[in-house]
Every structure is written in structure tokens, then in C-alpha cells.
Amino acid sequence: MQLGFLVDLHLCMGCKGCEIACKVENEVPLSTWRLRVKYVDVGTYPETKRTFTPLRCNHCENAPCERICPVSALHYIDNGIVNIDKERCIGCAGCVMACPYGAIYIDPETQTADKCTYCAHRIASSMMPACVVACPVEANIFGDLEDPTSNISRYIQGHTDVQVRKPEKGTNPHHYYVGASQAHLNPLASRREEGYNLFNNITKLPLGGHH
């Protein structure tokens, strides 16, 4: 079994329901996110549109975080999920530095690394990840990539514009996007300008790091 995610960006409307469901399900502390939705505004007025990209751990087949972890706190489980053992983590932040997707953070409460686990605890009880359940438009498609009859496999077979983030990194992500543009997936394809955020002057809580 190889579990994977696919997000159909044609369907995503940026409601952030997945983000909130993840926060609640996993008790993700303030100022940190296992899953977040990025907004990028594209075009020049009046020809503008807003794009939405849910971002989470990609559960790479060749995961840099797993490789650099000195104590195997980050490890693969049989269904392909890159899981984390917070009791073993020493908080070296090697995984934070290695993940090309910025998906790992240091939990300010436990002072250990944390990230999306595809809700491994729910999957173990035959439940879907919380973000999948919360999505009102079924933009999140989750399932077994090794099963050609699964929803995700059929979705991949039926679409030609299936992409992953940063394929040049050789990480082989198990997280796919349909309907993505460079503005969605490439952090260098959009500008970040002071004053252009929907929420400016965001106050962040002190987190791990910043020595």
C-alpha cells in the first residue's frame, strides 16, 4: 500500500476548512500549521483571479527529512506515510532544514518536530484524514496509489495535468496537484510584498529556533 494525496485546484475555493479541521484534529498549536492554504493573486485589475493552494507534507518516497533525522524519529510506515515519533525526536531541526516544502515545524509546546502525518492515527482506524472529511467540494482526494481502482489512481489516470511540487529535488512526492500553475507551486513565481497580504503585521508567537 502506498497512500497519497491529490488536490484538484479547479475545485478548491480557499475556504480553509481543511486547515481548521487539521488544527482541531491534531491540536496544532497557535502560530504553527500542518496544513495551510496559500493565496496568490494573479493578473492585473480588472483581469485578476485568486488562486488557492493547500500545502502539507508531501510524504516523499525519497524523503530528505527521513534521511537527515539522526534518531529515526521521522520514519516510514508500511502504508508509505512518513510518520514522526515525537518521543524520540531530539529537536535538532535537521528535518526543518531538509524539507524543500517547508512542511515541518518545531512544536512550541513539545519542542519537537511535527508535521502532517496524513492523519495516520485516523487511517489506522479506517477513517479518512480530517482535511478530506472537512472539504466541502471534495477537492482533497486520498487513497492507495498502488491500487489502480482507487479514487486517487483513477483521478491521476483521467487527468493529464497532474503535477508535484519541486520535482527537480528528486524527492518523489506522494502528493499531487491537478490544475496547478507556476504561481501555485513555485515559490519563486510570485512576489511577496509588504502590505499586499490580506492580514498584515501578523504577530508570531516565539517558536523553536531563532537562536
Partner 1 sequence: MLHETLAATNAVVTLDVPLPDIFWGWYVTMNMWAKSIGTGLVFMLFLLLKKNSSEMDSLRTPTLIVSFVMMNVFLLFTWLDLHQMWRMWHIFFYPHMTSAITIGAWMATLFVGLEALMIAVMILKKDTATFDKLLFWVTLLAIPVTLYTAGIMAEATARELWQMPTESVQMLLAATLSGSAAIILLGGSKLSADSKKFFGAILGLSALMAFIVYMSEYIFGAMKAEEVAAILNYVKGDGEYATMFWIGQWVAYILPMILVALSRVSNSDSILSLAAILAIAGLWVVKHVWLVIPQLLPLS
Binding site for partner 1 (CB under 8 A): 32-33, 36-44, 50, 55, 64, 66-72, 88-94, 96-102, 104-106, 111-112, 169, 171, 181-183, 186-193, 196-199, 202, 204, 207-211
Least Å from the CB of residue 207 to partner 1: 5
Neighbours of 61 (CB within 10 A): 16
54 forms beta bridges with 37
The residue type of 120 is: A
d(CA 104, CA 131): 18
Kindly state the smallest distance separating residue 136's Cβ from partner 1, in Å. 19
For partner 1, the closer of residues 25 and 41 by Cβ is: 41
Pairs from 92-96 (Cβ < 8 Å, separation ≥ 24): 93/208, 93/209, 94/65, 94/68, 94/69, 94/70, 95/64, 95/65, 95/68, 95/69, 96/209
- Among residues 48, 35, 2, 8, the alpha carbon closest in space to that of 119 is found at 35
DSSP state, residue 140: E
Is the CB of 126 or the CB of 192 nearer to partner 1? Answer: 192
Query: Can you tell me the distance from the alpha carbon of 142 to that of 49, in angstroms, rounded to the nearest whole number?
Result: 27
Minimum CB–partner distance for residue 73 and partner 1 (Å):
8
Q: Which is nearer to partner 1, 60 or 123 (CB)?
A: 60
Number of Cβ within 10 Å of residue 16's Cβ equals 17
Closest distance to partner 1 from the beta carbon of 85 (Å): 9
128 CB neighbour count, 10 Å cutoff: 16
Q: How far is the CB of 199 from partner 1 (least distance, A)?
A: 7
Minimum CB distance to partner 1 smaller for 50 or for 121: 50
Nearer to partner 1, 42 or 162 (CB): 42
The minimum distance between CB 159 and partner 1, in angstroms, equals 22
Which of 39, 147 has the CB closer to partner 1? Answer: 39
Give, as one character, the DSSP assignment of residue 187. G
